[in-house]
């Protein structure tokens, strides 16, 4: 019997029971939709993290206190948590790094800490960043109003501050904050600038838009913050990153032991985060793929019901000369068509869902995940359709015709 005739017969059977066919494909639709949406969200997280790294400076090396990088190249979280309390970084290290010259450009010490920020309009928890004027360039921190603090502000330990955009919105709504006074940990500061928004902190970690930026010397004299959190060093050319890292280690080892500091670059940090997010994306896709298995089981169950309902029809066709292979192929075509339709509709809904999410989150549907989801849905329909098809193909014509 021609394949075209078998295909036509299979499609006619599907169209004859539209509601049942739709419910059968629903499990596959949900499975494919889930795979595409979850992988799109996982890919979006990676894009989001990459963009955040772009906004906080490029070609940066970070000299941190303690041995926070393990021998395997990963981050030692326990050491990182204890590093600030035992920090041995000092101004002498900053001066030594500044004397290196090429390929090191700007160098900036950073002291970070949590603070309470208050104004006449209210209060807010903030994150203080004390550094030098170079920080503005190294971390790509520009101001939308006013200015960043200058070297003279640092030299004279002036109590001036650049506030984050969320601090400005919360504590100075409808008021130009430039020239206004704000209290940081009970010390009055004059606002000289408002930092441009970074839109960070949405997925954990410090909220940069709730930061306040003060001169490095003021943190020690006014707020009592003395231990250096880390030192930033910008490399003039990306190709010189390894050379710069080697030079920095040589300089730091003149005063400190190897376990007293770590030198990392943003590419290493980003790679670690990307590996974590890739694993998370694969895990999410695996969880969503369970829906496809459930959808396949649904197809098998419906096809078994169809075999029971059409037992007399199968017996009649066999009596008229249809071979077991003809019956097998017809039922496999039916299950393959149902899973294919489910895959197509699932892809359409998944892509539309990802595009809808993109209005507030960079969900990115990948062609590979779409093709994989569709391939698995088709394979699922065929695999779970084999058993009902074999059962139909092995029916005895006489027994089938006598079936009630």
- Are 277 and 222 within one domain? no
pLDDT tens for 149-197 read 999 999 999 999 999 999 999 899 888 999 999 999 888 999 999 999 8
Q: Report, as an integer, the average pLDDT of 192-205.
A: 70
Which pLDDT band, with edges at 50, 70 and 90, does 367 fall under?
confident
- Are 44 and 124 within one domain? no
Torsion of the alpha carbons at 303, 305, 306 and 307, rounded to the nearest 10: 90
Q: Exposed, middle or buried by CB within 10 Å (0-12, 13-18, 19+), for 370? A: buried
pLDDT tens for 299-314 read 788 777 777 766 667 6
Q: Give a yes or no: residue 61 inside a domain.
A: no
Q: Report, as an integer, the average pLDDT of 375-399.
A: 75
pTM: 0.62
- Are 126 and 223 within one domain? yes
- Are 16 and 133 within one domain? no
Lowest mean pLDDT among 137-151, 171-185, 253-267, 380-394: 380-394
Q: Give a yes or no: residue 247 inside a domain.
A: no
pLDDT tens for 105-133 read 889 999 988 888 998 888 888 888 999 99
- Are 154 and 213 within one domain? yes
Confidence at residue 394, expressed as pLDDT on a 0 to 100 scale: 74
Give the gyration radius of the chain's Cα atoms: 32
- Are 216 and 114 within one domain? yes
- On whether the CB atoms of residues 34 and 295 are closer than 8 A, the answer is no
- Are 132 and 219 within one domain? yes
- Are 290 and 216 within one domain? no
Residue-number span of the structural domain to which 201 is assigned: 107-230
Structure token pair of residue 133: 């004027």
Share of the chain above pLDDT 90, in %: 15
Q: Give a yes or no: residue 242 inside a domain.
A: no
Which pLDDT band, with edges at 50, 70 and 90, does 325 fall under?
confident
Q: Give a yes or no: residue 62 inside a domain.
A: no
Q: Give a yes or no: residue 380 inside a domain.
A: yes
Q: Report, as an integer, the average pLDDT of 273-298.
A: 76
Confidence at residue 53, expressed as pLDDT on a 0 to 100 scale: 64
Which of 230, 260, 285 is the C-terminal boundary of a domain?
230
Q: Give a yes or no: residue 59 inside a domain.
A: no
pLDDT tens for 13-43 read 777 777 778 877 888 888 888 888 888 888 8
Q: How many domains does the chain have?
A: 2
Residue 136 has pLDDT above 70, yes or no: yes
- Are 115 and 37 within one domain? no
Which pLDDT band, with edges at 50, 70 and 90, does 204 fall under?
very low
- Are 279 and 397 within one domain? yes
Share of the chain above pLDDT 70, in %: 82
- On whether the CB atoms of residues 334 and 365 are closer than 8 A, the answer is no
Confidence at residue 152, expressed as pLDDT on a 0 to 100 scale: 93
Q: Give a yes or no: residue 66 inside a domain.
A: no
Which pLDDT band, with edges at 50, 70 and 90, does 203 fall under?
very low
Confidence at residue 178, expressed as pLDDT on a 0 to 100 scale: 93
Q: Give a yes or no: residue 342 inside a domain.
A: yes
Highest mean pLDDT pick, 157-161, 198-202, 319-323 = 157-161
Which of 195, 230, 265 is the C-terminal boundary of a domain?
230
Which of 230, 265, 281 is the C-terminal boundary of a domain?
230
- On whether the CB atoms of residues 245 and 59 are closer than 8 A, the answer is no
Which pLDDT band, with edges at 50, 70 and 90, does 44 fall under?
confident
- Are 223 and 140 within one domain? yes
- Are 326 and 396 within one domain? yes
């Amino acid at each position: 019997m021609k394949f075209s005739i078998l295909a036509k017969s299979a499609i006619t059977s599907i169209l004859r029971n539209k509601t049942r066919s739709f419910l059968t494909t629903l499990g596959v639709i949900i499975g494919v939709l889930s795979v595409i949406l979850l992988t799109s969200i996982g890919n979006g997280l990676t894009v989001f993290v990459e963009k955040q790294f772009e906004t906080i400076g490029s070609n940066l090396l970070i000299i941190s206190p303690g041995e926070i990088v393990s021998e395997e190249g990963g981050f030692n979280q326990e050491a990182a948590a204890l590093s600030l309390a035992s920090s041995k970084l000092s101004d002498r290290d900053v001066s030594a790094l500044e004397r290196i010259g090429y390929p090191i450009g700007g160098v900036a010490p950073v002291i970070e800490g949590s603070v309470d920020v208050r104004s006449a309009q209210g209060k807010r928890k903030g994150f203080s960043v004390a550094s030098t004027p170079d920080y503005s360039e190294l971390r790509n921190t520009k101001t939308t109003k006013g200015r960043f603090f200058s070297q003279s502000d640092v030299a004279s330990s002036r109590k001036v501050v650049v506030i984050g955009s969320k601090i400005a919105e919360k504590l100075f709504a409808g008021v130009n904050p430039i020239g206004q006074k704000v209290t940081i940990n009970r010390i009055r500061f004059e606002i000289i600038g408002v930092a441009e928004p970074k839109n960070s902190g949405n997925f954990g970690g410090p909220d940069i838009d709730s930061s306040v930026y003060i001169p490095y010397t003021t943190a020690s004299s006014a707020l009592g913050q003395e231990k250096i959190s880390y030192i930033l060093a910008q490399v003039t050319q990306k190709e010189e990153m390894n050379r710069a890292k080697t030079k920095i280690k040589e300089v730091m080892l003149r005063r400190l032991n190897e376990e007293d500091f770590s030198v990392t670059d943003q590419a290493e940090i980003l790679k670690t985060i990307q590996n974590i997010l890739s694993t998370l994306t694969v895990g999410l896709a695996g969880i969503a793929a369970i829906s496809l298995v459930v959808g396949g089981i649904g197809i098998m169950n419906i096809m078994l019901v169809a075999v029971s309902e059409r037992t007399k029809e199968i017996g009649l066709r066999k009596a008229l000369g249809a071979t077991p292979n003809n019956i097998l192929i017809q039922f496999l075509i039916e299950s393959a068509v149902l899973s294919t339709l489910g895959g197509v509709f699932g892809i359409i809904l998944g892509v539309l869902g990802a595009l809808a999410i993109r209005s507030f989150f960079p969900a990115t549907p990948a062609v590979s995940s779409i093709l994989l989801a569709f391939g698995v849905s088709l394979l699922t329909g065929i695999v779970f359709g084999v058993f009902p098809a074999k059962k139909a193909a092995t029916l005895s014509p006489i027994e089938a015709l006598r079936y009630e």
